[in-house]
Each structure stands twice: as structure tokens, then as C-alpha cells.
Amino acid sequence: MRVGEVAAATGVTVEALRFYERRGLLPAPARTPGGYRNYPPAAVAAVRFIRHTQQLGFSLDDIAGMLYLAAGGPDNCDTVRDLAQAKIDHVAAKISQLTAIRDALSDLVTTCQRPRSERQCPLLAEEPFASSD
């Protein structure tokens, strides 16, 4: 498959494919006599894996490690399990932060719906702009 075909099949740009090659995430494909990259069909699955794991929040270094394991690295998957657990912990912390933001915004909306005499802005009550003098 030529680079454009792999790009079309995976939804990435040609530049992204070349970047993945430079990063070592995709093996350099064979070249045709005319100098064109000739990817094996497995490249499509590899690129889809890379994109999917990126969407899950894994870094390219993490993905390189996973690809190494998938290619016959150590017999156990402790490393991938540890990466996944760390990512779960990170996502849980982010969810907690986003929940706090949602709750603060909900309080603000609720306050703004009250009559002016009954309003006490929750953002001002927290004194976010108070000086430390």
C-alpha cells in the first residue's frame, strides 16, 4: 500500500505517517523501484492502534513501549498493566477536577436565577482576587 492509501484507510495525514516512522512507531516500509513507500497491510492496524491509544491519553513513548511488547517483548504484560493503571489514576483525578468545575458553575447558574436581593455570587464568596498583602 502506498502512503496515501494508508493515510486514507486510517484517517491520518501523510505527514503523521512519516512522523510515526521517524519516531519508530512504524517500521520503515520497503520502497518500490520508483522510490515510493510500500506499506504492508499490517501498517493500517498499527496506525489505528496508535491513534486509539493516543485518544485514550497515552503518550507516544507509552505507545512505543506497548508496540514493543506486542511485537514479542517480555512474556508478561505487567508494564502495560502499570501504564493503564497510571492512566486510570490520571483520568480519575481529571474527572474529580472537572466535577468540581461543573459544581461551581452550577452554583453560579443557580445563584444567577435568584432575585437580585437574594443573590450571593459563589465566585465572589470564594474571594479569588483577594490580595495576599
pLDDT digits over 54-79, tens only? 998 888 988 888 887 776 666 667 77
- State whether the Cα torsion 19-23-28-34 is positive or negative: positive
Q: Facing residues of 37 across strands? A: 31
Q: Which residues of the chain have pLDDT under 50?
A: 128-133
Q: Which of 15, 44, 40, 20 is nearest to 29 (CA)?
A: 40
- What pTM does this model have? 0.62
* pLDDT tens string 110-122: 887 878 777 777 6
Strand runs (DSSP E) across the chain, as ranges?
30-31, 37-38
